[in-house]
Structure 1
Amino acid sequence: MTTDQETSMSVTGTGATVWLTGLPSAGKTTIAYELAGRLRGDGHKVEVLDGDEIREFLSAGLGFSREDRHTNVQRIGFVAELLAANGVKVLVPVIAPYADSRDAVRKRHRTEGTAYLEVHVATPVEVCSERDVKGLYAKQAAGEISGLTGVDDPYEAPESPDLRIESHQQTVQESASALRALLTERGLA
């Protein structure tokens, strides 16, 4: 095997967790799936731990209290770290509204020696409300639901993420390219 082949294989086999945090309808999941396709095309093992799917299967029964949200984030972080430690690029598009919850996940990765990147998909609430992919903002405005992150429930934006993406000012492809560039810069892609 040549040195270039060895380098390519070691990078494609290097796991990492990429946590995409942001408000509902910020574009986290769309960006994650765009990046996942690109990484798979280059031979990486990739999993997307979608927040909605996790809530349905891994965190069924949890509500949206601060404690339940923390538990949900820790469960996702645990699974992400296990996968990343085994050579998978794990893309995690999850709101994770509280800084201490995200910090605990980062600390777990650091303790285990597993690469972790935090990406803030920093889309203004007004833009998210216009997108309203799941109809949550409309339901909140109609009084049908409460506790909507960023509206009537807190969202603690990351102070110094590894990358801040303003999805309302660039295409999904540009956002995925910026994230891919970060992975390359860190020796992970």
Structure 2
Amino acid sequence: MNELTQVSSKVRKEDREERFGHSGQIIWLTGLSGAGKSTIAMALERHLFNEGKNVYVLDGDIVRIGLCQDLGFSNDDRTENIRRIGEVARIMADAGLLVIVAFISPFRADRDNVRNRVSEGKFTEVYVSTPLEICEQRDTKGLYARARAGEIGEFTGISSPYEAPLSPEIEIPTESLTVEESVERITSYLN
């Protein structure tokens, strides 16, 4: 028996858009560990903030330390991790923020579930399409080497799959684009 009650805000979405000068939206960066998601997300946040936008980054490592600290890396836990962050991002976007999400989010179905929970046109999937070998070269933490040595189980791209988006709104090949060019590609799409 569900005894929860949906409470509606007294502030209309249109009022928030008028106040902020933009509507809320989720910009979802997905890709392998070391692809450049967090770097691009932080640069994009600064760029949009400098333009006067209300923007916030939800980063995979930061959220796992807090909200999702009870989750591991099994497929079910990864799905729950994305469900939780998707719900937080949806609430923040409903409040009128531009929410930049930087998560590996390895499964297409999980990303699609988040997309399906937000209004049409309010979810932009950005595939940070860096080849595995480049991600391994960039790995300052040594995670890929440890995963290949069997020290880390369920590591995306090595012992656990990554399902690349089939038709993302934006693709960022970081082996050929700078951070600035990546931010420009995203902001051009958003405008």
TM-score, scaled relative to structure 1: 0.88
State the AA in 2 paired with 1:59. Answer: C
Within the candidate set 46, 67, 76, 2:55 is matched to 46
Separation of aligned partners in 1, 2:147 and 2:137: 13
CA offsets 1:107-138 (integer angstroms, 9 cap, x no match):
0013xx57110010000000000001332112
Figure out how many residues of one structure are paired with residues of the other and give that number. Answer: 175
How much does 1:10 deviate? 6.8
Structure 2 unaligned residues grouped into runs of 5+: 1-16
Separation of aligned partners in 1, 2:21 and 2:167: 27
Q: Please state whether the residue corresponding to 1:17 is helix, strand or coil.
A: strand
Q: Please state whether the residue corresponding to 1:30 is helix, strand or coil.
A: helix
State the AA in 1 paired with 2:135. Answer: C
Within the candidate set 139, 144, 156, 1:149 is matched to 156
Within the candidate set 19, 42, 51, 1:33 is matched to 42
Structure 1 unaligned residues grouped into runs of 5+: 1-7, 185-189
Separation of aligned partners in 1, 2:21 and 2:74: 38
Task: State the percentage of identical aligned residues.
Answer: 45
Within the candidate set 125, 129, 132, 1:125 is matched to 132
Separation of aligned partners in 1, 2:88 and 2:155: 25
TM-score, scaled relative to structure 2: 0.87
Separation of aligned partners in 2, 1:79 and 1:126: 32
Match of 1:63 in 2: 72
Q: Runs of 4 or more off by more than 6 Å in structure 1? A: none
2:148·2:158 contact (CA, 8 Å) conserved in 1? Answer: no
Separation of aligned partners in 1, 2:140 and 2:190: 28
Q: Over aligned residue pairs, what C-alpha RMSD do you find?
A: 1.6
Within the candidate set 25, 30, 34, 1:21 is matched to 30
Which is helix-richer, 1 or 2?
A: 1
Match of 1:98 in 2: 107
Separation of aligned partners in 2, 1:133 and 1:26: 12
